[in-house]
Amino acid sequence: MRVAVVGGGASGLAAAWLLDGHHDVTLFERQPVLGGHVRTLGGNVACKTLPPGVRLDTGVIEFDRVNFPAFHAWMQVLDVQMQDLKKGGSSTLFLGDGRVFHSPGAIGVENPAVTAVMAELLHLVPLALRRRRFLNNTQGAQPQALAGTPISRLLSDDTFSTWVRCMLMYAYSMHYDEVAHVSAEMAVPMLRLFLESPHWTHLPDGVSSYVDAVARSLRGPVVLNANIQSIRRTQEGVILFHADGNQQSFDAVVLAVPPHRVLPLLADPSDQERRWFGGYHGGVIHTVLHTDLSPYQRRGVHGWSEFDLFELPTGGHGYNAYLNRLAGLPEDGPVHYGLAFDLDSELDPTKVIHRQSHDVAAYTEDALAARSEISQRNGTRHTWFAGAFLGDGLHEGAVRSALAISNALGGRVLPGVSASPGLR
């Protein structure tokens, strides 16, 4: 079969790689580089201000060995190096009123003395109790039973809930005030997994190193800066119409684009497809790579965890990821790199190295209502849909959605991994 894969993010790369060798695959990406949310300075994004050999991720950064089995199996087949993160999973919550809460992995950063560590552990007891209550209340809850429920109904106004909302802000690349509308059907299974002390890993050469490995291995053409105006389905297959007037015919198409980008591409969407994707809306967010320690210094903090959450005194919330640790760089200086989101009011503009844009979709309960039906009826009219939105909203869901398509079309498999797009 001649298969067009439209979209060069995680699901599109996985679909192209899995189908390659079994079908004639052409991969189309509208950006000048592959990767989607994978953007690595010094990798697939050039940055003259970074020292030679330094690679810093400004999009997707880390993975968990237990909860990303399909992704890790793929990396093993690709022979892409992955390493366990030192102090992985550590986090600190800075509240607007000055209170500070360290996760167990971050305790002792400021003061490693036994008495200080014991005091911090006691400080966490109320949060630990609230965490246990959340896990107990959601135990055994099937995703289908959570359909139509926003995550806000399962959270309150306590400190634990603020922490959880910040986790979701980070995981799904959305502003804090949008988190309340995230579907519990997607968020709860993910939260339950990641509240159970996951085993974090990273790619020491940057996440784009796996993108490069996939691109090198593909036999079929990769078309960057693709300007596909529309896609029309026929009885025999599909036709891609390009902005320059050219047309290309394929036997099937895999649409691996953000779900809010699907309907604008289809010249002839069915009522069913309008219902499937009509509820999605998207937007653009920006992450900021910087060398500014002032958000910590003005709070009297001289140490940082892997992932720090800030409730700002002026209102709003943001986060900062400590890239030295996440990229395996020295933590004793002289330069400390951070990746911030919604912390612009806290950062010195002269210490900003790069701003990265990301096209993101909102995973509301209305938007996700048709997920199971899409998976069950995928392939209708020679059209397949792939994406993280069909699973956990993360890389694991993206890879599993591609595996489901590969399984249906007789492509590659990953050893020991099922084709289900959802969480295990």
pLDDT, averaged per 10 consecutive residues of the chain (424 residues), comes to: 98 98 96 96 92 93 91 96 84 90 75 70 86 88 79 91 93 92 89 82 95 97 98 97 97 98 97 96 95 93 88 90 91 92 96 96 89 94 97 94 96 84 46
Phi-psi region at 89: left, alpha or beta (left = phi > 0; alpha = psi -120 to 50): left
Number of helices (H) and strands (E) in the chain: give both, helices first. Answer: 13, 20
User: Does 416 fall in a domain?
Assistant: no
Place of tokens 């995550």: 151
User: Does 15 fall in a domain?
Assistant: yes
**What is the DSSP secondary structure assignment for residue 20, as one 8-state letter?**
B
| Same domain? 188 vs 237 | no
Give the pLDDT confidence score for residue 419 in this predicted structure: 63
| Same domain? 109 vs 250 | no
| Same domain? 177 vs 316 | yes
The answer for residues whose C-beta is within 8 angstroms of residue 395's C-beta and 6 or more apart is 10, 60, 63, 68, 71, 388
Residue 272's identity, in one-letter code, is: Q
Give the pLDDT confidence score for residue 103 in this predicted structure: 85
| Same domain? 90 vs 157 | yes
Give the pLDDT confidence score for residue 108 in this predicted structure: 62
Give the pLDDT confidence score for residue 119 in this predicted structure: 76
The answer for residues whose C-beta is within 8 angstroms of residue 79's C-beta and 6 or more apart is 213
Residue 167 main-chain phi, psi, to 5 deg: -60, -45
**What is the DSSP secondary structure assignment for residue 96, as one 8-state letter?**
T
| Same domain? 286 vs 239 | no
Give the pLDDT confidence score for residue 109 in this predicted structure: 61
CA neighbor of 384 nearest in space, from 346, 334, 421, 347: 421
Q: What's the domain range around 221?
A: 2-81+206-280+365-409
Strand order in the sheet with 83-84: 62-64, 200-202, 83-84
Give the pLDDT confidence score for residue 88 in this predicted structure: 74
d(CA 68, CA 396): 5
